[in-house]
Amino acid sequence: MRIDKFLWSVRFYKTRSIAADEIKKNRVSVSGQTVKSSREVKEGDVIKIRKNQIDYQAKVIQIPKSRIGPKLVPLHIEDHTDKEQYEILKLRNLSAEHYRNKGEGRPTKKDRRDIDGFVEGDSRVDMGDSDWDLFFSDVTDSKED
C-alpha cells in the first residue's frame, strides 16, 4: 500500500491529498529516510511524522485494506512516540492564547460572562442610593469652593 494511502487509512490525516502534501513537504520519513507518496509501506516499517510541531513515531503492524475506524487503529500501528512530545503538546495547548483575537468584533455571551465574573469577583461592594452621595461627596465639595 502507498504511504499516503496508508497514513490516510490509519487516520493520521483527514484526506489522502493532505497526506500527500505533507509527504511532499518532507514531514514524513520511513526508517530515517524521507519518502515520496508512491513509497510502498511494509509490515515492520517505522514511520516518523512531523505534525503540529510534534514528532510522532509509529511502527506498522498490519496493512489495512481500506480506511479503518478509530477503534481498529491500534491493530494496525503501534505508537512509539516519546512521552516528552505529548507533554510538549499538553503544555502548548494550556498556554494557548484566548480563542478570539483582540479586536475581532464584539464579545460573545461567554466572553461577557467571563469579563463580568472577572470585574465583579468576590469583593463586589453593594452600594445603595445613599452611598452614591457619599462616594461623590468629595467631587461636589471641591466644585463648591
Query: Rounded to whole angstroms, how far apart are CA atoms 70 and 134?
Result: 66
Query: Are 50 and 75 spatial neighbours (Cβ–Cβ below 8 Å)?
Result: no
Reported residue count of the chain is: 145
Q: How confident is the model at residue 129 (pLDDT cuts 50, 70, 90)?
A: low
Distance of alpha carbon 49 from alpha carbon 11, whole angstroms: 13
31-46 pLDDT, tens digit each:
889 999 899 999 999 9
How confident is the model over 88-126, as pLDDT tens digits?
888 887 776 556 566 677 777 887 888 887 777 645 445
In angstroms, how far is the first alpha carbon of the chain from the final one? 91
Q: Which of 25, 30, 23 is nearest to 4 (CA)?
A: 23
What is the pTM (predicted TM-score) of this model? 0.63
C-alpha cell at 133: 452621595
Domains of the chain: 3-94 (3.10.290.10)
